[in-house]
Amino acid sequence: MPEIKKFHSKEEILSYIKNIFKYHNVIIIHGSAAKNKLKKYGDIDIEVYSQKLKKPYYEIVFQNKKVILLSVYFYKFKEGKKTKVPKDIRIIKGVYNNQLKAKSTKESYDSKENLKRQCQLVVDFAFKHFRSKNDIYLKYIQKRIK
């Protein structure tokens, strides 16, 4: 069984992510993990833009005693004009341009994107339940798996 990697800080985790995907054009962190501290049972949503598309990549790591899920999705890189980075995004490699539209800002998904999003939401809601002990998140999970 593979060893679960342990880190002391969020910055160490981001360096690890940057190192894994160093041969890709742009690496973006979006959502609450982009700017805020990581929570126990937190997740880091990562978009990797490159010439070669890959299947989504997931890994569980520890930051001290916090369990963190890394969710990585790959998208086709397109050259574009450098533009302002949206508030909920952090660039850990490369330059943000007008051709990179963070998938989290899309209002609609095609069927393949929707399936990925629903799977991601199940994990996200499970982690929220673990953090808060609020059973409402179990109902949200049930809605997506039935």
pTM: 0.76
Taking 50 as the pLDDT cut, the residues of the chain under it are 104-107
Structure tokens of 143? Answer: 């809605």
* Tens digit of each residue's pLDDT (9 = 90 or more) over 73-101: 889 898 999 999 988 899 999 999 988 87
- At 104 the pLDDT is 46
At position 49, the amino acid (one-letter code) is Y
* Three-state SS at 16: helix
Task: Give the architecture (CATH level 2) of 1-100.
Answer: 2-Layer Sandwich (3.30)
Residue ranges covered by each domain of the chain: 1-100, 106-146
Q: Are 64 and 8 in contact (CB under 8 A)?
A: yes
Number of other residues whose CB lies within 10 A of the CB of residue 90: 18
Strands 89-93 and 26-30: antiparallel
